[in-house]
Amino acid sequence: MNKNNILTIVKKEFARFFGDKRLVFTTMIMPGLLIYVIYTFMLGGIRDTFEADKDYRAKVYVQNMPKSVQPMFEGLGMDISNADDTDIESIKSLIENKEVELLVVFPPQFDSAVANYNVADTTQMAPNVLIYSNVANIESDNAEGFVRTMLTSYEETISNKFNINAYTEETANEKFDLATDEDFMGKIFSSMLPFMLLIFLYSGCMAVAPESISGEKERGTIATLLVTPMSRSHLAFGKIISLSFIALISGLSSFLGVMLSLPEFIGSEIEGLSTNIYTTSDYLLILGIILSTVLILISLISIISAYAKTVKEATTLVLPLMIVIMMVGLTSMIGGGEPQTSLSWYLIPVYNSVQAMTGIFSFNYSLINVGITIVVNIIYAGAFSYVLAKMFNSEKIMFSK
Amino acid sequence: MEEILVAKGLKKTFTLSRKQQKLEKTNCKTKVAVDDLSFSAYKGEIFGLLGPNGAGKTTTLRMVTTLIRPDSGDAIVDSFSITANPQQVRERIGFLTSELKLEDFFTPNYLFDFFSELYGIDPATRDERKGKLFSRFGIEKFAEVKVANLSTGMKQKVSLAISLVHNPDIIIFDEPTNGLDVLTAKTVTDYLLELRDMGKSIILSTHIFSLVEKVCDRVGVIIDGRMVACDTLENIKNGKSLEDRFFDIYSELKGGNDE
């Protein structure tokens, strides 16, 4: 009767999980949906609040408009009014009331003052342009930025000694930033995704393992299993395999939520943001790493859950581990997305996953290191399963009250 | 008669927490729950372990069913040692105790199939057994109702059926009628006798004298973790009621003091 009961346990765990619609919704669908909704609508909403309306024409008053900059002002697409005969204070209060966006006051004879100004003469003050705006008014703040940039670049052109990457006929088709789109995307993905994946996988594991192990212990249902002739290691393996699968789906649900809302998350200014830069084999390697990582995380949380007397105790006990995992995840953001190259780093579980994922996302990995990562993680998970089986066999742990 | 269970010098000590030490009014960090306990149960009989609460009956049965290991001593169940061959022992016994709970989420039908699979029972045998047991206890009516929604009596019937999925020859019941209404208690008691008639060997623990008098062939009296008397029901009673005899034994042991 020494049959293999791993599959029986896996089937029961799946029946328990997938048979409970509420559990499926809260563990699998809700995390991804919530992240997508929050990132898309909230960040979108926040951006709308802080971004000026592109079609809006700012109302700008200019006093003593110099001839030299007048064409540039006209090119800004703003409603420019002459304020030569208007009281400055009244315009300021209009800006304060958000009825007018900007007031620009040039000194009289600005052009000649600029022409006569000698930088080397320390006794002389440079002509001073005054710009009044209202930072609480997005349109005003925006207009201020445009006018300031325009005047700064005008200042640069009149004191020009040399240019950098200037647009000329020869350089019209020249590309100065030699990073490919892929490199750029790779850098973004490799610093963010390993951390996010790890956190979401850990949350997925936290959502299922304490309930399934401490929960069964707390409710006394695990004793019913332990009195059967089933091998304890089959119970441990069955639990770890089924819980890993459920945690994986839960973690990937959150991850999908992030990927779908990524353009909104990073900012739509980055054009061509796409995960199409990776090949199928890249994705397969990532999947292998994710799978082996989930096995480790689930087996670790299962051990903690088996030790805990109640689900509540287990969820408290797994928090310190979460902090450690988060710190390890953060290493993907350190070092400019460059993964470790030395093989010995890939013998450290979880850290190796982060490094291997960073490598794959930044197109800078060795197949050996990725392979080692997966194998090492599986060996650790196997060792942890053995510990869990031993714990199932220990009356002190399983029946302590 | 053929011995089906032989317990030899079973001993179990538990560590007491500070809280427990206060409750038990002792400074001793350990408590001997079962102390050098030996007894034999024979094939085809109902053997009763009688004793007050806290005497060590449940601990003895937990050791015999391999849930916990004895500190010393051993028990041989159908020629397998509980310490050396726990897996073989588990294959041969059915254990019913309030400590073993069924998962609330599942139905009796699902749980019967699940445990049958764990014991490696083929589907045809399983269905036949399920049909018999479910109809014997009237479980068919609530076979598809989640355990969470069943009454205590219904749950006990389901637990009983599930403890028998593998048709074990040795069945161990820990306080099988505790918390049950009179009707369900009678169903269980009647079934114990039916099982004996089928040739099964039954070991049960209880503190209810009437249950012992009604079903047991032989009795072991446990007080303070020790087996103070073990014989046939008639010999133990020695012409008196079991209750009177129990108090005689108890007074002899404790010198007439209850505590």
Contact pairs from chain A to chain B, CB under 8 Å: 61
Could A216 and B118 be called an inter-chain contact, meaning their C-beta atoms sit closer than 8 Å?
Answer: no
Q: pLDDT band at B189, cuts 50/70/90? A: very high
* Buried/exposed code over B227-256 (b: 16+ C-beta within 10 A; e: otherwise): bbbbeebeebbeeeebeebbeebbeeeeee
Give the domain extent around B54: 3-94+170-254
Domain count, chain B: 1
Based on the domain organization, do A147 and A32 belong to the same domain? no
Determine the pLDDT at residue A1: 45
Say if B147 falls within a structural domain.
no
Could A227 and B90 be called an inter-chain contact, meaning their C-beta atoms sit closer than 8 Å?
Answer: yes
Based on the domain organization, do A272 and A199 belong to the same domain? yes
Say if B128 falls within a structural domain.
no
pLDDT digit string, tens, across residues A89-139: 899 999 999 999 999 999 988 998 888 888 888 788 889 999 999 988 888
Say if B102 falls within a structural domain.
no
Based on the domain organization, do A262 and A185 belong to the same domain? yes
| Tally of CB atoms within 10 A around B193 | 13
Least confident residue range of A192-196, A258-262, B18-22, B29-33: A258-262
- B123 CB neighbours in chain A (<8 A) are none
Say if B232 falls within a structural domain.
yes
Domain count, chain A: 2
Would the pLDDT of A273 be above 60? no
Q: Is B247 on the interface with A (CB under 8 A)?
A: no
- CATH value at residue A147: 3.40.190
Say if B134 falls within a structural domain.
no
Mutate to test the interface with A, among B71, B96, B100, B165 (most CBs of A within 10 A): B100
Could B103 and A221 be called an inter-chain contact, meaning their C-beta atoms sit closer than 8 Å?
Answer: yes
Say if A12 falls within a structural domain.
yes
Based on the domain organization, do A200 and A336 belong to the same domain? yes
Say if A52 falls within a structural domain.
no
Determine the pLDDT at residue A270: 53
Residue identified by tokens 């129990």 is B246
Say if A146 falls within a structural domain.
yes
A216, closest residue in chain B (CA to CA)? B103
- A5 CB neighbours in chain B (<8 A) are 117-118
CA-wise closest residue to B2 among B114, B169, B157: B169
Give strand pairing partners of B14: B31
Could A219 and B117 be called an inter-chain contact, meaning their C-beta atoms sit closer than 8 Å?
Answer: no
- B117 CB neighbours in chain A (<8 A) are 5, 8
Phi, psi for residue A20 in degrees, rounded to 5: -105, 100
Say if A89 falls within a structural domain.
yes
Those residues with Cβ within 8 angstroms of residue A371's Cβ, 6 or more apart along the chain or in another chain: none
Q: Is B118 on the interface with A (CB under 8 A)?
A: yes
Distance, in angstroms, between A3 CA and closest chain B CA?
Answer: 7
Nearest to B102 among A224, A226, A395 (CB): A224
Say if A390 falls within a structural domain.
yes
Say if A101 falls within a structural domain.
yes
Give the domain extent around A199: 6-45+181-398
Based on the domain organization, do A39 and A188 belong to the same domain? yes
- A3 CB neighbours in chain B (<8 A) are 120
Say if A176 falls within a structural domain.
no
pTM for this predicted structure = 0.79
As a whole number, mean pLDDT of residues A317-332 equals 91
Q: Give the SS3 label for residue B229.
A: strand
Say if B31 falls within a structural domain.
yes
Q: pLDDT band at B259, cuts 50/70/90? A: very low
Nearest to A219 among B69, B101, B117 (CB): B101
A18, closest residue in chain B (CA to CA)? B105
Say if B123 falls within a structural domain.
no
Based on the domain organization, do A230 and A344 belong to the same domain? yes
Could B103 and A5 be called an inter-chain contact, meaning their C-beta atoms sit closer than 8 Å?
Answer: no
